Amino acid sequence: MIVLRLAKRIAVWSTTVVAVLALIAALGVMIMGWDSIWEKMAGPADQGPVNFATLTKTPKPNQALICPEGFCAAAEAKGQVDRQSPIYALSADQLKQELLRSLETENDLTRVDDESEENRMRFVQRTARLRFPDSIRVEIVPLSNGRSSIALYSQSQIGTSDLGVNAKRMNRWLKRLAQFEAKV
C-alpha cells in the first residue's frame, strides 16, 4: 500500500515537472522567438560568403550546389555539383535583376549581404513553422557574347537532413529563370 502511494506521488511529481518544463519552454519561444533561439544555439543564420571555385560540400546531405561548368572546380573534382547551371541569353546585370524580381514571391526570404559585390548575393530563408534558417549564396557569372550563368549554394544550418528542401528551392529558382535560357 505504501509502495503504491509512493508510486502515485512520483508519477504526479514527474508529470508536474514535465508540464512545468514544457510551459517554460513555450514561454521562452513566445518571448524570444524561434529566430533568436536558433541563433543562440547555432550562431548567426547568415553563414557568410563562399568562394565557389574552392567550395566543397560538407558530409551532411542538407545542401545543394548548382554551378556552371568549370566554375566550381573543387566541388566538380569531388563530384559534388548537384546540377549544371543553364546559360542565359542575358547579361549578368539583366540576369541578376530577373532573379531578384523572381524572388519577390518567396516566403520568409531575406537578403543579408551588404550589396557591395556586384554579382554576389546572400540570402537567408526560414521554414514556415519552426523557422529553421537556410543560407543561400548566389553568384551571377558573366560569360561572353552578352550571356551569363548562375552559381547557387543552399545549405541548412540546423540538422542533418533537409528532406530535399535545398535542392527543391534551387530547382524552383532556376525554373523561374527558364524563359531566359539561351538557345544552343
Q: Indicate if the alpha-carbon torsion angle 160, 176, 148, 137 is positive or negative.
A: negative
Residue 91 has pLDDT above 90, yes or no: yes
pLDDT given at position 86: 97
In this predicted model, which residue has the larger pLDDT, 47 or 108? 108
Give me the helix-helix angle, 2-32 and 34-42, nearest 10°: 100
**pLDDT mean across residues, the chain:** 88
Lay out the sheet containing 63-67: strands in order across. Answer: 83-84, 63-67, 148-156, 133-142, 120-126, 109-111
Residue 18 has pLDDT above 60, yes or no: yes
- Categorize the per-residue pLDDT at 32 as very low, low, confident or very high, splitting at 50, 70 and 90: low
pLDDT given at position 29: 54
The helix/strand/coil state of 125 is strand
Q: What is the mean pLDDT of residues 65-72?
A: 97
Domain ranges of the chain: 2-32, 44-180
Q: Is 111 exposed, middle or buried (0-12, 13-18, 19+ CB in 10 A)?
A: middle
pLDDT given at position 80: 97
Architecture of the domain whose range is 44-180: 2-Layer Sandwich (3.30)
In this predicted model, which residue has the larger pLDDT, 18 or 165? 165
Q: What is the mean pLDDT of residues 87-99?
A: 97
pLDDT given at position 107: 93
Residue 39 has pLDDT above 80, yes or no: no
